[in-house]
């Protein structure tokens, strides 16, 4: 019998949201909050997978991760407003640029620090410093876009550049489908290819892996490139629904960390479940609470990831991936009987 995996929780939650959306879309105009919930949680899944990929290899939480998403947002802006092409064409560009940025952070900053046996705290601070450089670069780029092309590059949205499917925006379908495709690909790569096996071996025991001839540095480099690239893809899609700004990363970072911690930080499947859970809770949970308590609750939405971090660390510090679901099920069963 297969052990139930935490991502079943996430998949279930996402499916429930999609069903609710379809029901809503059947009759009257689609509910924008439901659309926002689906898009946001899909993107959070992608961001959490990227962060988890990098964390699993080097064990340093990358505080510059959210700015990789902002790079994707600006790739989409340049492609759709400056080059006047479909924003979806920006996805490969976003993947490449954000991936290269993340690889730069790993090769030029983190790897030398690790070689010099810098403490984990110092490594974390170096990612914060790198983030600062990225934020400055993004702001300079935004100013340049405004000046050179007379295009709004702060607090902008590309919603009107999205295609329509029926009377719904395309990103509503593209985001979950793309995430599903990426997850399946990643799963196959990790389980079926030589590289995936090398990667899993490296994560489990880097020393032993290098002894059997795995190029550990290359494996780490590829995970950092992938992790950053996925964040870039999330950013490119994000701009089609949410507001883009150079400061976007600072707003996203608590949610991304919450999603990864809820997922256990060491499991890609956990990150999927965590991203879906935190994303849906942030949007649908806040709306439900606003209905119960009053609309003032909505402004406190940024506290949701904080609550998730606190709850996870207190109840299940190893996250969803660390929970023994079968044992839990048995115990619930016994309690009910």
Partner 1 sequence: MSLGPEVTFFVDLLAIYSIYLIINTSLNLEFGYAGIPNFGKVLAVGVGAFVAAAVPGRMLAGMAGIGGDYIGDNIAIMSQVNAWLLDNTGAGIAAFAVTLAVAAAVGAAIGLLTAYPAIRLRGDYLAITLLAFGEGMRVIGINYTEIAGGTLGVQLPDPLVWLPPDLRFPAATVGLVIMAAAAVIYGDRLVRSPLGRLLRAVRDNEVAAESVGKDVMRARTKTIMVAAAMAAVAGALYAFYVGGAISFAYDRLNWTFWPFMMILIGGLANSRGVLVGTLAFVLVRKLITFYKDSLQGIVPFDVVWLDYLLLGVVLIAVLLYRPQGLLPERPTPTVRVPGEDGPAPLTSRLGAIARRLAGG
- Interface residues with partner 1 (CB under 8 A) are 59-61, 109, 112-113, 116, 118, 120-122, 124-126, 128-133, 135-137, 139-140, 143-144, 250, 253-254, 257-258, 261, 296, 299-300, 302-303, 305-306, 309-310, 313, 317
Taking only Cα atoms into account, the Rg of the chain, rounded to an integer number of angstroms, comes to 20
CB of 323 to partner 1, least distance (A): 17
Question: Distance between CA 259 and CA 110 in Å, rounded?
Answer: 23
- For residue 139, the tally of other CB atoms under 10 A from its CB is 15
- Six-digit token string for 51: 């962060």
Instruction: Rank residues 208 and 310 by Cβ distance to partner 1 and give the closer one.
Output: 310
Question: Distance between CA 239 and CA 234 in Å, rounded?
Answer: 9
Residues in the chain: 337
CB of 246 to partner 1, least distance (A): 10
Phi, psi of 28 (to 5 degrees): -90, -165
CB of 286 to partner 1, least distance (A): 12
CB of 74 to partner 1, least distance (A): 15
Instruction: Rank residues 143 and 204 by Cβ distance to partner 1 and give the closer one.
Output: 143
Instruction: Rank residues 8 and 147 by Cβ distance to partner 1 and give the closer one.
Output: 147
Instruction: Rank residues 121 and 293 by Cβ distance to partner 1 and give the closer one.
Output: 121
Q: If we measure between CA atoms, which residue out of 8, 12, 144 comes closest to residue 78?
A: 144
- For residue 210, the tally of other CB atoms under 10 A from its CB is 15
Residue with the two structure tokens 């919450």: 258
Question: Distance between CA 184 and CA 180 in Å, rounded?
Answer: 6
CB of 271 to partner 1, least distance (A): 14
Question: Distance between CA 307 and CA 51 in Å, rounded?
Answer: 20
CB of 119 to partner 1, least distance (A): 8
CB 204 within 8 A of CB 214: no
CB of 118 to partner 1, least distance (A): 6
- For residue 124, the tally of other CB atoms under 10 A from its CB is 14
Instruction: Rank residues 48 and 158 by Cβ distance to partner 1 and give the closer one.
Output: 48
Instruction: Rank residues 291 and 317 by Cβ distance to partner 1 and give the closer one.
Output: 317
Instruction: Rank residues 187 and 318 by Cβ distance to partner 1 and give the closer one.
Output: 318
């Amino acid at each position: 019998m297969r052990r139930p995996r935490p991502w079943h929780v996430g998949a279930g939650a996402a499916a429930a949201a999609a069903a609710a959306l379809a029901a809503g879309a059947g009759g009257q105009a689609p509910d924008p909050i439901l659309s926002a919930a689906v898009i946001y949680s899909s993107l959070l899944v992608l961001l959490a997978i990227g962060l988890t990929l990098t964390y699993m290899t080097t064990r340093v939480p990358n505080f510059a991760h959210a700015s990789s998403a902002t790079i994707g947002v600006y790739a989409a802006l340049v492609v759709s407003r400056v080059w006047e092409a479909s924003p979806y064409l920006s996805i490969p560009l976003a993947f490449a640029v954000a991936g290269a940025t993340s690889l730069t952070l790993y090769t030029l900053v983190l790897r030398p620090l690790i070689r010099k046996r810098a403490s984990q705290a110092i490594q974390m601070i170096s990612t914060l410093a790198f983030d600062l450089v990225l934020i400055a670069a993004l702001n300079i780029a935004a100013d340049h876009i405004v000046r050179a092309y007379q295009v709004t590059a702060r607090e902008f949205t590309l919603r009107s550049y999205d295609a329509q499917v029926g009377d719904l925006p395309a990103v509503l379908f593209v985001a979950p489908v793309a995430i599903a495709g990426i997850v399946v690909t990643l799963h196959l790569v990790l389980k079926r290819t030589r590289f995936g096996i090398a990667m899993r071996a490296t994560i489990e025991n880097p020393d032993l892996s290098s002894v059997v001839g795995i190029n550990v540095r290359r494996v780490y480099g590829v995970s950092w490139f992938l992790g950053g690239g996925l964040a870039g893809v999330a950013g490119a899609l994000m701009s089609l629904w949410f507001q883009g700004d150079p400061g976007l990363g600072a707003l996203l970072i608590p949610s991304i960390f919450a999603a990864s911690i809820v997922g256990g930080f060491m499991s890609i499947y956990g990150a999927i479940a965590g991203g879906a859970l935190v994303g849906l809770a942030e949007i649908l949970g806040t709306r439900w609470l606003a209905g119960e308590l009053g609309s003032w609750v909505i402004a406190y939405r940024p506290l949701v990831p904080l609550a998730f971090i606190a709850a996870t660390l207190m109840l299940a510090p190893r996250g969803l991936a660390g929970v023994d679901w079968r044992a839990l099920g048995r115990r619930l069963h016994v309690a009910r009987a």
